[in-house]
Amino acid sequence: MTISLLPAGPPDDVPYELWEGEEEALAAAAAAGHRAAEWIRLLPGAPSPCPVGAWLAGELPQAIETATSSLDPGDLDRISPEGVMVDGTGGVDKEIRSSLAAVPCAVQDARWLTPDQQIQLVAVASLVTGAARLLAEDRGTAITTGELSRIWALLDHAIA
């Protein structure tokens, strides 16, 4: 069994120091999110107005940009003052996480998109969600080993 000591109390209760390369990693995340959002906005629109078409054209790209520009390595997993494990969010709020989680189901209703475009959308949402989870679980490793950079390289490959 491995025992890991996590900070106690709310995140603002623990002093936070930037990791070397953190500012650059977060700037790269925001840039990758912007590229992905622009790619989504350039996808073919629905042949007739529909909820999924409107969501893909507006809310989803905005959610991706918001998620990648709001990543916060300080919002990590921790133990509450009551001794309860609290999952960090990596800076991505519940509403955005919900939008990203809906992508695998929603793309099935986007029949005007090719299967490749549909799977690309799923990959983008998954990678953005994974980046936030990675920061919440192990921000040091994510930032210092280049794991976040690898996620953005995969995202760029997905939208190519």
What are 6-61's pLDDT values in tens digits? 554 555 555 567 778 889 999 999 999 999 999 999 999 999 999 999 999 999 99
Q: For 91-129, how does the pLDDT look when each residue is reduced to its tens digit (9 = 90+)?
A: 999 999 999 999 999 999 999 999 999 999 999 999 999
Q: Is the model's pLDDT at 130 over the cut of 90?
A: yes
d(CA 57, CA 75): 29
pTM of the model: 0.85
| 105, 33 Cβ separation under 8 angstroms | no
Higher pLDDT, 69 or 1: 69
Rounded distance, CA 104 to CA 123, Å?
9
What pLDDT does residue 64 have? 98
Rounded to whole angstroms, how far apart are CA atoms 127 and 35? 13
Model pLDDT, residue 80: 86
Task: In whole angstroms, give the CA distance from residue 81 to residue 13.
Answer: 10
| pLDDT value at 2 more than 80 | no
pLDDT per residue over 144-156, tens digit each?
888 999 999 999 9
pLDDT at residue 10 in the model: 53
Q: 1-10, 22-31, 71-80: lowest mean pLDDT where?
A: 1-10
